[in-house]
Structure 1
Amino acid sequence: MTSDRDERLATPGLVMPEATGSRRMAWAAVPREVTARIEQVLGSPVAGAFSQPGGFSEGLAARVHLANGKRVFIKAASSLVAPAVANFHRREIAVSQRLPAEAPTPRLLDAYDDGTWVVLVFEEIPGRLPAQPWQPDELDRVLTAVTDMAEVLTPSPMDEAILSKPRLGGWLEIAADAATRAKVEKLSPWAAHHLDELVALEHNASLVGSTLLHGDLYPFNIMLTADRVFVVDWPHAWVGPRHCDAVTLLSSASLSGVDPQPIAERHALIRDLDPVHVNEVLALQAGFLLRVAAVAGPAADRNLVAMMTALGLASLRWLGQRM
């Protein structure tokens, strides 16, 4: 199934964009009544707060040094300014409170929700984001941690009722709307010429499983310390097949010039699968990402749209090679 159109899958110059949203809030911009409430929760005045790169949520995301010498990481958002993010934070509170201690995640120390402001206080992880482009040793470390995480989180330790639906799929909507279809064709001529196959993969996909999945496992949601891997930001967790997070992570590797296929053929969560199950996840990822990127209006965070476009095209690149 090779043609000139297929060759365009190579997408020269496709790389990982800057992994930071454009709408982060500095500590000084948070209303004083909110910071005072945070200090009350922490039991100490804040001596310094340092906004962090990585991730795309609006609002505060800062490493905070307290006057009593302790350090924490704080996320906060206003329902009036960023209602979707505030709701994500509410769901992340519910998920984080129920994650087992064995999971490679930061501990939620405290949280509050006054109806407008939603605040989460985590233990500070003295680490950094993985280097981009991916370094082979760091990618190996993270993939090993993903395998271990799937063991810890199977079966899921929490009721699905508190979780979100998986952020997957979009080809059915793309196919049904001419304007969106035209925008996606500009992003990926290959997708436009394989739309029927992508719709079929989405329509026939099976997401049955019992593993608690992160649901957004890309490099900007991973922290590395000297000896551990932490997975952060859990509002999009869902329950499904245990291979999905590993496929998601590997799909980003081609943005670093890494061929994910040989790695997948060796990986414990993927190597024994029917190949169609991997193809389904890749199609579902790309459909979600590219549909959202295509319909994003002028008010959307352009950094986020660029990231979703790049990750969606990366999933299609790997899928096209497999097909």
Structure 2
Amino acid sequence: MPQETGRRRITWGALPRGVAACIEQLLGAEVAEAASQPGGFSEGLASLLTLTDGRRVFVKAANSEHAPAVSDFHRREIAVTRQLATTWTPRLLDAYDDGIWIAGIYEEIRGKLPAQPWRADELDRVLAALIELTDALTPSPIDRALLRGPRLGGWRALAEGGGVPVDRLRRMTPWAADHLDDLADLETWAPQALAGETLQHGDLYPFNIMLNNERVFVVDWPHAWIGAPHCDTVTLLSSASLSGVDPQELAERHPLTRAVDKEQIDVMLAAHSGFLLRITTSVGPEADQNLVEMMTALGLASVRWLRNRT
């Protein structure tokens, strides 16, 4: 798993003073100290703020003129988190939106990102917590109108587009390039194979998980969608292979995946890897290379698992 944070983070001091003052007004105290947080790849602010009254909060903010996609993610995450009420997710304290700057203010989660490569005990804790979280999120407690469709699929676009992206794909994974049509056909089954009533995180990787001695927390919910209970677990297991973990062995033992039809997991892996690798084979030099490296590694991990399964 690539360790770097996205390269387009900003500090608290880089916020316009008027925006910072409005956030402080919402907090009811001034900021005494700000520490930019590691992990994750979104642009903008991601800082733990210590206030003059001793409280600490986590704030994410972005400029919709400079980073419209990230701002849209923040707005959706704020809306989703307002309706989430679980012990596994952070609580939204307040939000700021002036039409240009959008900020979500969340409770501090006292914990740390899981070690990478994965430690067996931490991975076991997270996989166990997913069973409880999935049960709590079935049926979904979030209004479907707040959500968008899952970020899945991309092989058909690659197959039909050809050219440089397919050449790049072949250098990354000759097997996928040779099986483009098969992968494209497989991902078309996603609406049927991945249908369900469980709220999915949609981006369940180690950089969106925090641990302390008591609990496992899942943070950053802008990509949530509603689907089959096994989808997030498949995503996490595919990424765990980057730590030398055999995802197939874990999937055969885990309650959320062991009884799932083989084709449903294959479809998830195909749709997931297609989304990631279509993007990374198509981006230009202006893209955040840390983000590109992360998406490439995760996409190839899913491809390898799928290839081994087929």
Tell me what 1:232 maps to. 219
Tell me what 1:268 maps to. 255
Q: For 1:103-252, list aligned pairs within 5 A.
A: 103-179=87-163, 180-205=165-190, 206-252=193-239
Percent identity, aligned pairs only, is 61
2:72 is equivalent to residue 87 of structure 1:
yes
- Judge conservation of contact 2:90–2:106 (CA < 8 Å) in 1: yes
Runs of at least 5 residues in structure 2 that lack an aligned partner in the other structure: none
The normalised TM-score by structure 2 is 0.97
- Judge conservation of contact 2:156–2:180 (CA < 8 Å) in 1: no
Q: For 1:31-50, list aligned pairs within 5 A.
A: 31-50=16-35
Q: Give a deviation string over 1:121-177, Cα, whole Å, max 9, x none.
A: 100011110000001000010011111111000001122111021000101101101
- Judge conservation of contact 1:103–1:153 (CA < 8 Å) in 2: no
Q: Give a deviation string over 1:9-66, Cα, whole Å, max 9, x none.
A: xxxxxxx112410110011111111110110000001000000010011000001000
- Judge conservation of contact 1:79–1:117 (CA < 8 Å) in 2: yes
What's the RMSD between the two structures over aligned residues? 0.9
2:10 is equivalent to residue 25 of structure 1:
yes
Q: 1:304 aligns with which of 291, 296, 302?
A: 291
Amino acid at match of 2:151: R
Q: Distance in 2 between matches of 1:19 and 1:145?
A: 26
3-state SS, counterpart of residue 295 of structure 1 = coil
Amino acid at match of 1:48: E
Tell me what 1:315 maps to. 302
| Count of equivalent residues | 307
Amino acid at match of 2:268: V
Tell me what 1:64 maps to. 49
- Judge conservation of contact 1:164–1:235 (CA < 8 Å) in 2: no
2:281 is equivalent to residue 285 of structure 1:
no
More off after superposition, 36-45 vs 187-196: 187-196
Q: Give a deviation string over 1:155-205, Cα, whole Å, max 9, x none.
A: 011221110210001011011011222222122111011222211211223
Q: Distance in 1 between matches of 2:212 and 2:87?
A: 15
More off after superposition, 155-164 vs 298-307: 155-164
Q: Distance in 2 between matches of 1:322 and 1:207?
A: 18
Q: Distance in 1 between matches of 2:20 and 2:50?
A: 13
Runs of 4+ in structure 1 displaced over 4 angstroms? Answer: none
The normalised TM-score by structure 1 is 0.93
